[in-house]
Amino acid sequence: MNQNKDRVAPFTPVSHPRFRAVPRRGIGFVCIVVMAMNVGAAPPATPLPAPAVTSPVAAVPAATPASVPDTLQQRLLACTGCHGNEGRAASDGFYPRIAGKPVAYLYNQLLNFREGRRHFQLMSYMLDYQSDDYLREMAQYFSSQHPPYAAPQKFDVSKATLEQGESLVKSGDPAHKIPACSACHGEALAGVNPAIPGLLGLPRDYIIAQLGSWKSGARRAAAPDCMAQIAEHLSEQQVGAIAAWIGSQVADSRARPADHVAKPMPARCGSMPSADVAH
């Protein structure tokens, strides 16, 4: 499975110890959340399948429109079961925080899951039949939430590793074609509107997983996929140092994505087509 030349194990939820949290809820949970999400939802692009007739959860009273207040927040309980209240993320570091991320970034990710450029089956199932407009509505809701961050995790890593991570994030490693992460993710690493996410507040394991997925091709973004190119040049050791430094920083829920990149970006990114790029 791991054919990656740099030996960064691509993160697959099944192989992750914390994945145990998901099967406990099982497919029934997903049926319920998918149904909950569709109560009163905007008309889907394609007709929804008809799980109500055959599904064992059809008789659950909470799924009948009459007994559920039809608010977006109520429907998005389907998401917050995994992503935490208001999308703040749980403390286990497995489900990413979605609160407060730039709106087009969140929208792009929902499209990516729906269209197979990112993979997490329990989530992709839920998005399969949702219209673009509804994905946009969900992205807008979570983007406008700013709940507090959990305290950063504590790791047993050396000071030298943390310093190396910080230096890569802030200055890059030009000899190995690695630009500073802050050149695109913002000086404060709080992201840049409309489509570059902040890095502070991401758990270490999640960062390792995402960079591994870009290396292995399991995660893709609009071409040119600048993150795939950057991940390609990072060694396993560098990924570990970057993730440990970011994962140990305190994130501030008052931070907001910047409106523009401070200087032209070091590479072109398909998901930020309007940004200036250095030549």
The sign of the CA dihedral 159, 165, 170, 172 is positive
Q: Give the residue among 272, 225, 233 at the shortest CA–CA distance from 117.
A: 225
Minimum distance from residue 61 beta carbon to ligand HEC (Å): 21
Distance CA 86, CA 5 (A): 39
Stretch that binds ligand HEC, among 55-63, 64-72, 148-156, 193-201 (CB under 6 A): 193-201
193 binds ligand HEC (CB under 6 A): no
Footprint on residues 203-262 left by ligand HEC (CB under 6 A): 207, 209-210, 221, 226-227, 230, 242
Number of Cα atoms under 13 Å in the Cβ half of residue 224: 8
Half-sphere exposure of 244 (CA within 13 A, CB side): 18
Residue with tokens 């009273």: 61
x-marked contacts with ligand HEC along 31-70 as a string, rule CB under 6 A: --x---x---------------------------------
Report the residue from 31, 35, 39, 98 that binds ligand HEC according to the rule CB under 6 A.
98
User: For the chain, give me the number of helices (H) and strands (E)?
Assistant: 12, 0
- Minimum separation from the CB atom of position 50 to ligand HEC (A): 19
Distance, in Å, from the CA atom of 132 to the CA atom of 123, rounded to the nearest integer, reads 16
Interface residues toward ligand HEC, by CB under 6 A: 13, 22, 33, 37, 78-79, 81-83, 95-96, 98, 101, 105-106, 108-110, 118, 120, 122-123, 126, 138, 168, 178-179, 181, 183-185, 195-197, 199, 202, 207, 209-210, 221, 226-227, 230, 242, 265-267, 269, 271-272
